[in-house]
Amino acid sequence: MRLHPQFGRKHSGALKVRDFDFDIKAVEEDGSFNGYGSVFGVVDSYQEVVAKGAFADSLAELARKGRPVPVLWQHRSSEPIGAWSDLREDDHGLFGKGSILLDAGDMERRAYAHMKARTVTGLSIGYWVRESSYDEKTGIRTLTKLDLVEISLVTFPANDDARVEAVKFKLAHGELPTDREYEKFLREAGFSKTRAAGLVGHGLAEMRRRESDREETMTPALKGLSDTLAGFSLKSA
86-115 pLDDT, tens digit each:
999 999 899 889 999 999 999 999 999 998
Least confident among 106-120, 124-138, 139-153, 212-226: 212-226
140-154 pLDDT, tens digit each:
999 999 999 999 888
Under a CB-based contact definition with an 8 Å cutoff, are residues 177 and 170 in contact?
yes
DSSP letter assigned to residue 211: G
Backbone angles phi, psi at 166, to 5 degrees: -65, -40
As a whole number of angstroms, the distance between CA 2 and CA 79 comes to 24
- Sign of the Cα pseudo-torsion (189, 192, 198, 201, in order): positive
Q: Please name the residues in contact with 101: beta carbons below 8 A apart, sequence gap of 6 or more.
A: 31, 81, 82, 83, 108
pLDDT reading at 54 higher than 50: yes
Under a CB-based contact definition with an 8 Å cutoff, are residues 125 and 18 in contact?
yes
As a whole number of angstroms, the distance between CA 33 and CA 26 comes to 5
Cβ–Cβ contacts within 10 Å for residue 139, how many? 9
Q: Which value, in Å, is the radius of gyration of the alpha carbons in the chain?
A: 18
